[in-house]
Every structure is written in C-alpha cells, then in structure tokens.
Amino acid sequence: MINNKDGKAFESPITFNRSFIWENKILLIEENVLVKMPGRPIDDLQQDIHYYFGNTGILEKKETIAPRNWVQDTTSILYRRNDIGQLFSIESKNIQETTIVQNAYDSNGKIIRQDTKQIIPSSNHENREILVESNSYEYQFPHPHIVVRNNINNYGLTYSAFTTERNEQGFLIKEKEEYFISQRIIEAIYQYNEKGWVSAVVRTDSQNQEVEKTTYDYDAKGNVLFAKKFINNQPVEEYEVLYQNASLVKAILHQDLSSQVITIHKYEYRFR
C-alpha cells in the first residue's frame, strides 16, 4: 500500500498507493505518533493524524490533532480535485490562519500556474483573500524522454529550471533543478532492481560536498520493507515497515541513527 514509484515513499511520512486504497475500499487511515528515546519508555505524543479517501482512492483530506498547551490544536488539509482527478486546490486550516494553494493546468495535464493565498479575518467579520505568492510554469521538450519545466516568479522572471529524464520504458532515471542566480544544482539519480522497483536514489547538491543516497528493500510482493539513508557513505537514518496480513501497514519505525531516537507511526483502518 506504499507507493515508492518515484522514491518518495516516506516524505510525508508515507505515500499511499491510490489503487490499493480503492481496491480495498479504505475510507480512513488513522495514524498515531510515538517516540522512543534511548533509556526511556515509549512516549505517546498524543498526535493523531487522519487521512480521508474518496471512492476512487484519492486522498481528500488530512487532519492532524495534537495537544497544544493542554488545548487540542487541529490542523486540516482539504484536497479538491476536478472531474479528471487533477488537484486544483489545497486548503490548509488551523486555529490561526487559512492558506489556499490553487493550481491551473494546460490541455496536456501539466501545471502552468500556482497561486498561494491567505484568508485574513477583518474587523467586520468578512474574510479577505490575499495573494501571497504566484508562480507560473513553461515547458520545453528537447528530447522525447526529457521534459524541462521553467519556473517563473510573480515578476515574470525565470528563476530555475526543473528537468526530468526517463528511459524508453518510462522509468524515471534523473531529476535536476538548476537555480540561475545562485547557480545551485540539485540532482537525483534513480536506480532500479530487476523487477523495476526503485532500489536507490542518489542526490547531490552543488553547494555542498555531501552525497546523499537512500536504498530500498522489498518483499516478494513489492512491499517496501526497509529504507536507509546515507550521507557520504555514512548511515544517518533508516525506516522499517511492519505489515499486518502481508499488505496493510501496521507501523513505520523511523530511526535517527545519530541520536538513536525512534519515531513510531502506528496505523489503523476504517473501511467502506
């Protein structure tokens, strides 16, 4: 149920497989976060994260409930999509503010504009919508398997270019983002095992000498079992995924190897 197609399985900290959610009629996933420090018992952070899914397995809402000064603090993220599944609006709301990110697409389904807005309460109880940031995107296709996205700021200036390269079979093999002012280049190289699953992602940044590499191990079904991150060949963090019934994720254990702190993400499910 973890989607690691692009090597980004644990960035949020988990990326869900839409088809798995849909086929198994999952309505809600509840995540509970705990922390284990060396020499101390497991500490329940009392942080609950709820993921709500639509009938087709698309994530529609994420809600985080955490104690804050002994008062429950709730953050919700609402995902709105159009009729063909494109994400056109993300609304993030907490006690203090509301932020809306709106996307516009071209006829080929590529994003061409992104606006970030904030809802500001006014004295007469009518909310004002303030445009905070706006970016637009233009595309070039120098090769059948290469796409260059030029990122343009709200002054109409191109500040960076993001390039993706795939092989003839459609596998992502390289990503590169180049920032023109600082001349910074961030690059990711993708490696695959014999079954076509991402086995490693190697990232470099021209502004430092670090080489970051993340490796992935799977079971025979393609379920991610382990992920380990190295910087300059030194292990720095790792993930372990525990499954129930060989399919549903029971827990994800994330360990920072320098501090030995383990963060435990436990999952429970509600079905349609």
Q: pLDDT tens, 239-260?
A: 999 999 878 999 999 999 999 9
Domains and their CATH numbers in the chain: 18-271 (2.40.160)
Percent of the chain at pLDDT > 70 equals 97
Inter-residue contact 134 to 111 (CB < 8 Å)? no
Hey, how many other C-beta atoms are within 10 angstroms of the C-beta on 148? 17
- Tally Cβ neighbours within 10 Å of residue 145: 15
Q: Which residues pair with 10 in a beta bridge?
A: none
Q: Residue 67 CB: number of other CB atoms within 10 A?
A: 11
Out of 32-46, 115-129, 177-191, 217-231, pick the least confident.
115-129
pLDDT reported for residue 72 = 58
Structure-model confidence comparison of residues 206 and 72, the more confident one: 206
pLDDT digits (tens, 9 = 90+) for 24-38: 999 999 999 999 999
Q: If you count them, how many residues does the chain have?
A: 272
Nearest CA-CA partner of 175 in 150, 203, 153, 151: 203
Q: Find the Cα–Cα–Cα–Cα dihedral 139, 140, 143, 145, rounded to 10°.
A: -10
DSSP state for residue 163 in the 8-state scheme: E
C-alpha to C-alpha distance for 32 and 47, rounded to whole angstroms: 6
Task: Assess whether pLDDT exceeds 90 at residue 176.
Answer: yes
pLDDT of residue 69: 54
Q: Which residue has the tokens 């309505």?
A: 27
Percent of the chain with pLDDT over 90: 81
pTM for the full predicted model: 0.88
Q: What is the pLDDT of residues 72-85, one digit of tens each?
A: 568 899 999 988 88
Supply the pLDDT for residue 245.
83
> What pLDDT does residue 71 have?
55
pLDDT at 143: 94
Reported as a single tens digit per residue, the pLDDT across 50-74 is: 999 999 999 999 999 877 555 556 8
**In 227-261, which positions are buried (b, 16+ CB within 10 angstroms) versus exposed (e)?**
bbbbeeeeeebbbbbebeeeeebebbbbbeeeeee
Beta carbons within 10 angstroms of residue 167's beta carbon: 12
By C-alpha distance, which of 238, 240, 235 is closest to 251?
240
Whole-angstrom Cα distance, residue 150 to residue 18? 29
